[in-house]
């Protein structure tokens, strides 16, 4: 059966498709095809089979686990992934090839994050701007009175949508109250405060500034200002005493105005921006892997970035960095064992209130979504930060990193955890 | 280490396997990246099941690495790798007591005759298991590994006419097996 027999048109068909038919055989085949419907059908089916085989040929690759195992058995440090990265022919091309994607992802991530949080806090920020403008105008108009009055403290209150509000009246009303109301919708002005608007009706971003003069001019019992207990505690004692106001909070977890000084943070100026450096140490990789024989630069697992504080508790930013992951790769032109991954992404940070009994440390959570040339990367960190007086704060926490990467046509993930430390410079 | 290895020939890289550790590692990595997929494909198609194929694949490259310790002239490294893979696979099959299913017993339980390309590839794999071992090997080397008839003849050390017959017969048998499902496909 193995020895050559008479070659049929069907045989010629396969020889032709395999590129093994000579010119004479091709001529015979085409002649047969012209008048044989069955042979034409067989030709079409053979072509269909060949395309299926070619597709499979291009898709099947050794599994990553098999490759890892083989390299380990061979005594080599790590498997090698095929890379589709083009060789960097010049400095600019090399820079873009290595940093371009992370940089673009960092910018995109920051934009998305800014848009996301802008939509959430936009009203608050708008209200803040309006209030600042009105405060400036009000201050200008009061300038003469204030010059005569020995002291006229301003209390700033916040009511936020979603916060539980308990409507409790002051047991003793202020005898005259001048209140500034400004709503996110743009309504605002200086008026005598009237509690006809139930506190629950106050929209997010509503700012209430109650000016409590020393001399009572009215005793209208209906005009009971509703004041945050937090703010009241920050009032000078003489004001608290002179007004006799005993106030229950309308907003037990009310957050201070983004630019106001929280009493707990009164000694720390709140800045809008910060630059930061971050590093990771004491790494552990998942699944269990070693960084055997890998490059270990002193600047590994480090990042830098900037943050913008939307409020005292929320900040967004962008960050770029370099991490060591249990990943190895080679480029088409250079064979480089390289486990360093450059990444970039957008960050979001939530900071809790300072914990005074613990020295004023501030717990925080932070997340990062970004990209590397190998695939998407994400980070999460839980930690505490501490700020002395001045513009510098330091933090430490546990950070987890996950990377998705493509190897031989399949997606894999690798993760690591470590102790992260960071230094922020606020300005 | 940043040697440019892509410009080196297979023979150069094979010689580098006798170098120091880092050179060996780099050369092995480059050769693996060049030929690993092809060898893996061969092992998968010949062995059938993945665990056996994975094992045969690893053994192939480990034996290849060991062979480099001896000074030899390498003129056709892909063919050499395939010969190692072939020996590994055949030995493994002997140990496993491979039983070939007669062609007549073959029944595919697929009713859908409008085969997409991926489905057809799966069907071909199923049909491949039913081919005689000699036919299957020739078919795999040609269809999956992309070797010419002459290269296949060198690998399996048979006359080219025999190789040609095996390949053509293998393809015709696969088409016969799949004919109920290919009947509506006329291009």
- Give A280-325 pLDDT, tens digit per residue: 775 666 544 444 444 455 556 789 999 998 888 889 999 998 887 7
Residues of chain B with C-beta less than 8 angstroms from the C-beta of A70 = 32, 57-58, 61-62
Judged against a pLDDT cut of 50, whether residue A5 lies above it is answered with: yes
DSSP category for residue A263: G
pLDDT, tens digit (0-9, with 9 covering 90-100), for A53-76: 887 777 778 888 888 888 888 888
Helix and strand numbers, DSSP H then E, in chain A: 8, 12
* For residue A418, pLDDT beyond 50: yes
Q: Which residues of B touch A72 (CB under 8 A)?
A: none
Set of chain A residues whose Cβ sits within 8 Å of the Cβ of B26: 335
B40–A80 CB contact, under 8 Å: no
Distance, in Å, from the CA atom of A123 to the CA atom of A120, rounded to the nearest integer, reads: 7
> Of A48, A70, A335, which has the smallest distance from its Cβ to B5's Cβ?
A335
- Residue B89, min C-alpha distance to chain A (Å): 16
- Residue A262 backbone dihedrals phi, psi, to 5 degrees: -65, 145
Which residue of B lies nearest to A39 if distances are taken between CA atoms?
B186
Smallest Cβ–Cβ distance between B165 and the set A4, A47, A66 belongs to A4
For A118, the 3-state DSSP assignment is helix
Beta carbons of A60 and B29 less than 8 Å apart: no
Count Cβ atoms below 10 Å from residue A63 Cβ, excluding itself: 17
- Residue whose C-alpha is closest to residue A275's, from A116, A401, A421, A391: A391
Closest residue of chain B to A74, computed from CA coordinates: B62
Residue whose entry in the numeric block shows the structure tokens 């049909």: B127
Task: List chain A residues with CB under 8 Å of B63.
Answer: none
The helix/strand/coil state of A358 is: helix
Rounded-to-integer distance, Cα A96 and Cα A105, Å: 13
Higher-confidence residue: A247 or A380?
Answer: A380
How distant is the Cα of A301 from the closest Cα of chain B, in angstroms?
Answer: 21
Q: 3-state DSSP call for residue A417?
A: strand
pLDDT at A227 over 80: no
* CA distances (Å), origin B45, targets A212, B83, B128, B146: 88, 15, 8, 13
Q: What are the φ and ψ backbone dihedral angles of A314, each rounded to 5 degrees?
A: -120, 135
Size of interface A-B (CB pairs under 8 A): 143
User: Which ranges of A285-426 does DSSP label H, i.e. alpha helix?
Assistant: none
- From chain A, the residues in CB contact with B175 under 8 A are 42, 45-46, 49
Closest partner residue to B58 (CB to CB) among A40, A47, A70 is: A70
pLDDT reported for residue A284: 64
Burial annotation A158-169 (CB, 10 A radius, 16+ → b, else e): bbbeebebeeee
CA–CA dist A126, A135 (Å, integer): 14
Q: Give the ranges where A74-205 is alpha helix by DSSP (H).
A: 91-95, 101-148
Q: Name the residue among A323, A325, A401 with its Cα closest to residue A368.
A: A401
Q: Beta partners for A240?
A: none
Q: Residue A126's closest CA among A217, A276, A258?
A: A258
Candidates A52, A70, A334; nearest CB to B4: A334
Whether residue A45 is predicted with pLDDT greater than 80 in this model: the reply is yes
Can you list the alpha helix ranges (DSSP code H) found in A8-90? 9-17, 23-35, 37-59, 64-73
Question: B113-148 pLDDT, tens per residue?
Answer: 345 666 777 788 888 888 888 899 999 999 888 889
pLDDT at B138: 92
**DSSP H stretches of helix in A149-203:** none
> What sign for the dihedral angle of Cα A15, A16, A20, A22?
positive
Whether B95 shows a pLDDT value over 70: the answer reads yes
Q: B73-95 burial string, b = 16+ CB within 10 Å, else e?
A: ebeebbbbbbbbbbebbeebbee
Partners of A1 on chain B (C-beta within 8 Å) are 165, 169
Strand (E) or helix (H) holding A303: strand A302-309
Distance of alpha carbon A16 from the chain centroid? 58
Cα dist. B183→A20, A49, A155, A189 in Å? 26, 13, 86, 83
pLDDT digits (tens, 9 = 90+) for B139-187: 999 988 888 999 999 888 899 999 999 999 999 888 888 877 776 555 4
pLDDT, residue B110, reads: 37
Take residue B148 and report the two structure tokens written for it: 């010419």
Minimum CA–CA partner of A56 in chain B: B121
A89 phi and psi angles, rounded to 5 deg:
-90, -15
**Inter-chain contact B186–A330, Cβ cutoff 8 Å?**
no
CB contact under 8 A, A42 and B44: no
Whether cis (ω within 30° of 0) applies to the bond prior to A51 is: no
Q: Is B38 in contact with B47 (CB distance < 8 Å)? A: no
| Backbone region of residue B144 per phi and psi (left: phi > 0; alpha: psi in -120 to 50; beta: other values) | alpha
A112-136 per-position pLDDT tens digit: 666 665 665 666 666 666 777 777 7
Distance (Å, whole) CA A193 – CA A198: 12
- Cite the beta strand spans of A310-390 per DSSP E: 314-324, 340-351, 362-371, 376-387
Q: Is A51 close to B117, i.e. CB distance below 8 A?
A: yes
Angle at which helix B117-128 crosses helix A37-59, to 10 degrees, equals 90
Distance between B140 CA and the closest CA of chain A, angstroms: 10
Shortest CB distance from B144 goes to which of A3, A44, A53?
A53
d(CA A209, CA A176): 13
Largest CA distance in chain B: 59
Question: Is pLDDT of B47 > 60?
Answer: yes
Instruction: Pull the structure tokens for residue A73.
Output: 């058995």
Proportion of chain B in helix, strand, coil states, percent, rounded to 5: 70, 0, 30
Whether residues A57 and B65 touch (CB distance < 8 A) is answered with: no
User: What is the distance between the alpha carbons of residues A322 and A133, in angstroms, rounded to a whole number?
Assistant: 43
Q: Convert the pLDDT of each residue in A161-219 to its tens digit.
A: 333 333 333 333 333 333 333 333 333 333 333 343 444 444 444 444 444 444 444 44
pLDDT over threshold 90, residue A258: no
Residues of chain B neighbouring A294 (CB-CB closer than 8 A): none
**Chain B contact set for A76 (CB, 8 A):** 25, 28-29
Measure the CA–CA gap between B181 and A371, rounded to whole angstroms: 45
> What number of residues does chain B have?
187
Query: Distance (Å) from the C-alpha of residue B1 to the closest C-alpha of chain A?
Result: 6
Residue in the block written with tokens 């081919």: B131
Min Cα–Cα distance to chain B from A379, Å: 30
> In B, which residues are within 8 Å of A332 by CB distance?
6
Interface contact flag, B143 A53, Cβ < 8 Å? yes
Give residue A306's pLDDT: 92
- What pLDDT shows up at residue A382? 92
Higher pLDDT, A110 or A322: A322
Mean per-residue pLDDT, B82-106: 71
């Amino acid at each position: 059966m193995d020895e050559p027999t008479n070659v049929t048109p069907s045989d010629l068909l396969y020889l032709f498709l395999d590129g093994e038919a000579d010119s004479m055989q091709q001529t015979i085949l085409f002649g047969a095809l012209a008048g044989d419907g069955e042979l034409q059908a067989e030709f079409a089916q053979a072509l269909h089979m060949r395309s299926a085989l070619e597709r499979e040929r291009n898709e099947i690759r050794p599994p990553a686990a098999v490759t890892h195992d083989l390299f380990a058995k061979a005594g080599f440090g790590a498997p090698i992934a095929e890379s589709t990265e083009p060789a960097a022919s010049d400095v600019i091309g090399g820079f873009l090839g290595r940093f371009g994607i992370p940089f673009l992802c960092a910018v995109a991530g920051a934009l998305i994050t800014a848009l996301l949080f802008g939509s959430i806090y936009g009203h608050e920020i708008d209200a803040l701007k309006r209030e600042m403008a009105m405060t400036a105008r009000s201050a200008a108009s009061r300038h003469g009175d204030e010059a005569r009055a020995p002291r006229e403290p301003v209390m700033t209150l916040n009511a936020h949508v979603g916060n539980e509000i308990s409507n409790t009246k002051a047991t003793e009303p202020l005898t005259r109250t001048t209140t500034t109301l400004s709503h996110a919708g743009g309504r605002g002005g200086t008026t005598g405060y009237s509690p006809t608007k139930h506190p629950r009706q106050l929209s997010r971003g509503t700012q209430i500034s109650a000016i409590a003069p020393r001399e009572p001019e009215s005793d209208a019992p209906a005009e009971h200002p509703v004041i945050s207990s937090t703010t009241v505690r920050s009032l000078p004692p003489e004001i608290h005493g002179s007004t006799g106001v005993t106030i229950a909070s309308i907003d037990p977890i009310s957050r201070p105005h983004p630019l106001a000084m929280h009493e707990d943070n009164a000694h720390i100026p709140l800045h809008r921006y910060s630059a930061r450096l971050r590093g990771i140490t004491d790494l552990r990789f998942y699944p269990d892997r070693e960084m055997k024989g890998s490059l270990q630069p002193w600047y590994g697992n480090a990042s830098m970035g900037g943050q913008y504080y939307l409020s005292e508790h929320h900040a967004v930013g962008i960050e770029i960095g370099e991490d060591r992951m249990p990943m190895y790769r080679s480029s088409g032109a250079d064979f480089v064992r390289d486990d360093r991954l450059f990444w970039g992404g957008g960050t979001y940070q939530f900071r809790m209130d300072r914990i005074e009994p613990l020295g004023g440390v501030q717990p925080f959570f932070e997340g990062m979504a970004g990209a590397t040339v190998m695939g998407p990367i994400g980070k999460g960190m839980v930690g505490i930060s501490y700020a002395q007086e001045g513009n510098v704060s330091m933090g430490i926490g546990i950070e987890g990193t996950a990377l998705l990467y493509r190897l031989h046509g399949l997606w894999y993930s690798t993760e690591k955890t470590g102790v992260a430390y960071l230094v922020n410079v606020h300005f | 280490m940043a040697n440019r290895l892509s410009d080196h020939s297979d023979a150069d890289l094979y010689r580098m396997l006798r170098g120091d550790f880092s050179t060996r590692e780099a050369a092995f990595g480059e050769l693996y990246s060049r030929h690993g997929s092809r060898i893996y494909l061969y092992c998968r198609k010949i062995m059938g099941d993945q665990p056996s194929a994975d094992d045969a694949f690893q053994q192939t490259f480990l034996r290849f690495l060991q062979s480099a310790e001896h000074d030899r002239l390498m003129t056709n490294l892909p063919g050499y790798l395939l010969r190692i893979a072939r020996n590994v696979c055949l030995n493994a099959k002997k140990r496993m007591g491979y039983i070939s299913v007669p062609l007549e017993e073959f029944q595919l339980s697929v009713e859908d005759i409008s085969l997409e390309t991926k489905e057809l590839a799966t069907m071909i794999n199923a049909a491949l298991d039913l081919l005689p071992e000699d036919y299957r090997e020739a078919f795999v080397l040609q269809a999956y590994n992309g070797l010419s008839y002459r290269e296949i003849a060198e690998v399996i050390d048979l006359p080219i006419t025999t190789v040609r017959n095996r390949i053509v017969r293998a393809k015709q048998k696969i088409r016969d097996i799949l004919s109920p499902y290919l009947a509506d496909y006329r291009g």
